Amino acid sequence: MMINAGKYNKKVSIYSVEMVTDDAGFQTETKTVICEPYANVKTTKGITLITNNSDFEEAHTNFTIRYQKKVIDAYENNNRDLLIDFAGKTYKVDYLNNIDERNVEIELQAKVVRH
């Protein structure tokens, strides 16, 4: 199957955050970047949410990237707790899918994190 490399046109940063005790004994967040791939980004449209009687706050953004085993490993090893930075926003990954189990593309469904 040929994949159009041009569809991966948005730079994203995929990472995990862990609480670590520093030298002074305080808990601090440590951000570990897993990768910074280019992705195909699609956001659930508002009309789809209205048609399906969904709350607009439930809007998901799908990030499709080329397959990287380290992303799947990080997702499984960090209790499925991965974050994505994109366009000045942070997204929490709700679901990861190795598309058709072919090890070609990974789809990450995520929601914007409210601060």
In tens, the pLDDT along 30-73 reads 899 999 999 999 987 554 545 555 555 567 899 999 999 999 99
Is pLDDT above 70 for 107? yes
Specify whether the backbone of 88 is left (phi greater than 0), alpha (psi in -120 to 50) or beta: left
Is pLDDT above 80 for 1? no
| CA 14 to chain centroid | 6
Name which residue leads in pLDDT, 80 or 5: 80
- pLDDT for 51: 54
- pLDDT for 115: 56
pTM score above 0.85: no
- pLDDT for 57: 54
- pLDDT for 60: 85
- pLDDT for 59: 74
Name which residue leads in pLDDT, 55 or 89: 89
Per DSSP, the residues of 50-106 read HHTT--GGG--EEEEEE--HHHHHHHHHTTT--EEEETTEEEEEEEEEEGGGSSSEE
